[in-house]
Amino acid sequence: MMDNTKRRRPRQKRSQRRVASILDAAAELLEEVGYRALTTNAIAAKAGTSIGSIYQFFPNKNAVVAEVVRGFRNQLDLILDQVLTVDLARQSVTRLVDVLVDSLEGLAAATPGFGSIFTGSKFGGSAEEQALELEKDIIEPLSDLLAQAYPNVSDEQRRLCMLVVTETTKVLMSRAAVEDRETQRKIRQELKRMLGLYLASHFEAPRRRGTRSRKSKK
């Protein structure tokens, strides 16, 4: 029950276009109705094709979602690479949080379905794996940055903080999503404030001075 290669790979332009429209349809439906209400029939209808065509190229529904998430990961990685810099981390964790939240918000606004995936969880099979990877794509660079900028904080504490930060960000951005624009902004503002205070309480000890990081302790 996995994403094996038991299915054909699209060789002609025709089928490649079809696969793309299937993925687009899936992403849009994810945005509109969420993962739980996502059905293969709806995907086919929205993509203007038949269920059979989906199964021509995907072993099962989950594989379609997994592929969509894979696309999201690429976009996210691109943005985070650009935005999460050691320099920023050393400046202040507060700014780091602001940038992270804004990046995620921007991506969610520009990418149908992204919010639904980032926010939600409890997919099964390979989609679940991809969603976990997407989370790692955020946690790991962030964690590395903090490790470099604040080497006096233990690995375990840093891991705990990352858990808190991601989980909190997920719910609050998800909660914001159902509110009007103004409330959304306010919720994000509170999120930034809270995470800023929290992270600062763990990561502001060593004065950001020399660019040279000290060796780890504990």
* Residues lying near a second copy in the complex (CB under 8 A): 36, 122, 160-161, 163-164, 167-168, 170-172, 175, 186-187, 190-191, 193-195, 197-198, 201
SS3 137: helix
Choose the contact partner of 14 out of DNA, a second copy, none; CB within 5 to 8 A by kind: DNA
Choose the contact partner of 111 out of DNA, a second copy, none; CB within 5 to 8 A by kind: none
Beta carbon of residue 196, minimum distance to a second copy (angstroms, whole number) = 9
Residue among 212 and 215 whose Cβ is closer to a second copy: 215
Residue among 110 and 171 whose Cβ is closer to a second copy: 171
- Residue 122 φ/ψ region, left for φ over 0, alpha for ψ in the -120 to 50 degree band, beta for the rest: left
Which of 4, 5, 13, 156 forms a contact with DNA (CB under 7 A)?
A: 13
Residue 149 contacts by C-beta under 8 Å, 6 or more apart in sequence?
86, 89, 90, 203, 208, 213
Q: How far is CA 25 from CA 7, 18, 28, 73, 168, in A?
A: 20, 10, 5, 18, 29
SS3 48: coil
Site string for DNA, 56-85 (x = CB under 7 A): x--xxxx-----------------------
For residues 198 and 196, what is the distance between their CA atoms, to the nearest angstrom?
5
